[in-house]
Amino acid sequence: MLKKQMKVLELSRNELVVLKIGGSVITDKDRELGARTDVISRIADEIYETGLRNLVIIHGGGSFGHPFAQKYLLKDGFRSEEQVIGFAETHHVMTVLNGLFMDALIWRGIPAVSIPPSSCVVTRNGRIQYFEDAPLLRSLEIGIIPVLYGDVVFDSKLGFTVLSGDQIVSYIAQKLKASRIIIGVDVDGLYDDDPKVNPKAKLFNHLTLQELTKIKCSIGCSSTPDVTGGMASKISELLPAIEQGIPVIIVNAVKPKTIYKAIKGERVEGTIIEKE
């Protein structure tokens, strides 16, 4: 396994950072509705310590959203009346998880506001068709950090579907011309196999878009069921942003100070993916 640290990416005061915290970081995926409140609190501490306001945060669903979305097959769209309550349940449990995350931010005096994707996004065949971004833009203008999350949303073709946090990350980063995307997961970065299953899996410290394209088919995916597609799917969602010159940094958000260092542009173990 490669042990080298990533090169430092300097961050100027006015550059926007898009931060994604994976559901596997803030929830216990082996326990339905199992929140890792200690991890949520620590990450909130690290965000507070950076002092950064020009930040957009997106978090995943983990053991809150995924089990319900999978149970009712919501990603496939509206097919039966029993899915209606499933849509409502899935959105509700995501607001519960988001509430825990927001509690941790607000209690530390971090000015943040929750923006539910189900209220501002409409997709078409699972892809973002319309995004009412005025609240997000206004919050950033006055120094309030917008917080979004993977959610169920209405779809002009399917009726409704599941919108992954990764698609939201890529869309916002491109729309707002972010300086970087930070992806916090529960492993040290991007590997050629699942490191939770294969201890000999190799960590990629740095990849160009061309190198990533060559190895994409061999990228290890999570061994835990995920209605949004696992690691390979997440990377695919981020490709358009990388093509626009926005670097993606994948780090282990379970490890203390990792998110702080990544936001501040300090050296940290992980994987950085750049266009060239």
Give the per-residue pLDDT at 71. Answer: 96
Give the per-residue pLDDT at 104. Answer: 98
DSSP 249: E
Please list the rounded mean pLDDT of every run of 10 residues in the chain (276 residues): 45 80 94 95 98 96 96 97 97 98 98 98 98 97 97 98 97 97 95 86 92 68 51 88 96 97 94 94
Give the per-residue pLDDT at 231. Answer: 76
Architecture of domain 17-61+93-111+138-148+164-274: 3-Layer(aba) Sandwich (3.40)
Long-range CB pairs of 216-224 (<8 Å, 24+ gap) are 218/192, 218/193, 219/190, 219/191, 219/192, 220/191, 220/192, 220/193, 220/194, 220/195, 221/194, 222/24, 222/194, 222/196, 223/194, 223/196, 223/197, 224/24, 224/29, 224/30
